[in-house]
Structure 1
Amino acid sequence: MSDVDGERPVTSVRVLLAEDQGMMRGALALLLNLEEDMEVVAQVPAGDQIVAAALDARPDIALLDIELPGRSGLDAAADLREQLPSCKVLIVTTFGRPGYLRRAMEAGASGFLV
């Protein structure tokens, strides 16, 4: 079943991306948008922009980098849990530092990927 313009299924998963590296964010958005049942509905380069973008775009999933300017992805995940509990959070990082997984789960993340 497609939406009105016939490009995406009505059941498309709506994704917010938060990544400070523009090339990485763009590549992730491109790859996710290639999937028939996924749609990137918001992209932000800083942690302090995540909640506002999520409240505006109403994503199903927020894919958050841990280390972001303005506010960490972990702090933003906790904010999303309170302000938009229907949005699942996946944390991604290139830094597998001790305590990150525990902190991500405590913040309400549904998944964690190094």
Structure 2
Amino acid sequence: MDSGFLNLIDPTDEVMADRGFPIQSDLVMRQAKLIIPPPGQGSEQMTKENVLKTKAVANVRIHVERAIGRIKCFQILKNTLPITLVPLANEIFTICSAVSNLQPPLVK
């Protein structure tokens, strides 16, 4: 709520999160959808539907992790950011993200 992230959500957006993020009601108010893996069944076997949903979320998550990995490759983001650059942190991250988007696609 304090970060302003929810203000960036548009209607019909889908937000992927881990279980335990209590943002479902906030997303519904913005007409967006929360995508989370289905809850575990304990010692019981998962239903076929939940297995398929878990696989689908995992497949997307792999691409998200790869995109994050590309951004982390920038030397300026590998180390502690000097205090003098803190006011520019958002711009630095935005530029690193934009440059990583110019690389070949993650998905063929």
TM-score, with length taken from structure 1: 0.28
Greater per-residue strand proportion: 1
Greater per-residue helix proportion: 2
TM-score, with length taken from structure 2: 0.29
Higher Cα Rg, which structure: 2
Greater relative CO, 1 or 2 (CA 8 Å, sep 6+): 1
